[in-house]
């Protein structure tokens, strides 16, 4: 099967001024689309493979033919990571998580501010390109982690929230000021979506 680019459920300017329209447009139509295209191109080399679930594919990269393992890791990871990223964005006007998710964040990190510090620190200190994540790890606990490049995060646990810190995600507006981008990310987290993931997994 072919993977397709997930459409956004909001316009490209919906996250202004924190993430600008041009960055969103290029990020989705060029970068995200590129990962999808390159994933399909890799899988076309082995038509005998039948994966209809991206998560399963990423968890079983080691079982794939060796010649496409790296391409699937980079581009399958890129497809998955961006699917999650774009799905979890919404202008929130300083909104915070609520309910069971907020309780678990406070229980785990001590306070929402402590969680924010840990997540921001992971995003700011990721050297080069990569991601910061809030995951539910294999023990069922919340954890902040960081991954390089487009490496899949699924082997560490279930991702609930991810922040893309590749320069393509922020450079047009923020240039070298990654910390400002990270700070403003907290204005565009769709906490309802994060909460849904938390309750489901
Ligand atoms: Mn990206």
The pLDDT tens digits of the residues spanning 19-48 come to: 999 999 999 999 999 999 999 999 999 989
Structure tokens at 33: 């689309």
In degrees, rounded to 5, the angle at the alpha carbon of residue 131 between the alpha carbons of residues 129 and 133 is 165
Q: What domain range is 76 assigned to?
A: 21-87
Note whether residue 29 is domain-resident.
Answer: yes
What is the C-alpha to C-alpha distance for residues 120 and 125, in angstroms, rounded to an integer? 8
Q: Contact, 192 vs 94, CB < 8 A?
A: no
Q: Which two tokens stand for residue 11?
A: 């316009």
147 CA from centroid of ligand 1 (Å):
13
Ligand 1 centroid, distance to 142 Cα (angstroms): 24
Residue 94's pLDDT is: 74
What are 71's two structure tokens?
A: 């391409």
Kindly state whether residues 172 and 137 are assigned to the same domain.
yes
Among candidate residues 53, 87, 121, the one where a domain is terminated: 87
Report how far ligand 1's centroid is from the alpha carbon of 129 (Å). Answer: 9
pLDDT at 92: 93
Look up the pTM and report it. Answer: 0.96
47 and 128 in a single domain? The answer is: no
Which CATH number does the domain housing residue 58 bear? 1.10.287.990
Residues 68, 102 contacting (CB under 8 angstroms): no
Do 25 and 77 fall within a single domain? yes
Distance 150 CA to ligand 1 centre (A): 9
Q: Judging by beta carbons within 10 Å of its beta carbon (0-12, 13-18, 19+), is residue 87 exposed, middle or buried?
A: middle
In angstroms, what is the span from residue 165 Cα to ligand 1's centroid? 7
Number of folded domains that form the chain: 2
In a domain? residue 12: no
Residue 52: predicted pLDDT:
83
Report the pLDDT value the prediction gives residue 201, as an integer from 0 to 100. 60
Q: Which of 82, 113, 87 is nearest to 191 (CA)?
A: 87
pLDDT per residue of the chain (201 residues) written in tens, 0 to 9: 799 999 999 999 999 999 999 999 999 999 999 999 999 999 999 989 888 899 999 999 999 999 999 999 999 999 999 999 999 999 997 789 999 999 999 999 999 999 999 999 999 999 999 999 999 999 999 999 999 999 999 999 999 999 999 999 999 999 999 999 999 999 999 999 999 999 986
Q: Of the candidates 30, 61, 87, which is a domain's last residue?
A: 87
Of 28, 13, 65, nearest to 43 by C-alpha is: 65
Cα separation, 169 vs 165, whole angstroms: 6
């Amino acid at each position: 099967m072919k993977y397709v680019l997930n459409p956004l459920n909001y316009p490209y300017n919906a996250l202004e001024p924190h993430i600008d329209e041009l960055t969103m447009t290029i990020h989705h139509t060029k970068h995200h689309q590129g990962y999808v295209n390159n994933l399909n191109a890799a899988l076309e080399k082995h038509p005998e493979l039948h994966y209809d679930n991206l998560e399963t594919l990423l968890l079983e990269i080691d079982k794939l033919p060796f010649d496409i393992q790296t391409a699937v890791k980079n581009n399958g990871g890129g497809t998955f990571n961006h699917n999650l990223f774009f799905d979890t964005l919404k202008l929130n006007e300083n909104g915070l998580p609520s309910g069971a998710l907020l309780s678990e964040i406070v229980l785990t990190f001590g306070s929402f501010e402590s969680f924010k510090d840990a997540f921001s620190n992971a995003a700011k200190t990721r050297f080069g390109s990569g991601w910061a994540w809030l995951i539910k790890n294999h023990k069922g606990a919340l954890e902040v982690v960081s991954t390089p490049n487009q490496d899949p995060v699924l082997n560490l646990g279930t991702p609930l929230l991810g922040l893309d810190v590749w320069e393509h995600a922020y450079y047009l507006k923020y240039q070298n000021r990654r910390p400002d981008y990270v700070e403003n990310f907290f204005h565009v987290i769709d906490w309802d979506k994060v909460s849904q993931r938390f309750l489901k997994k």
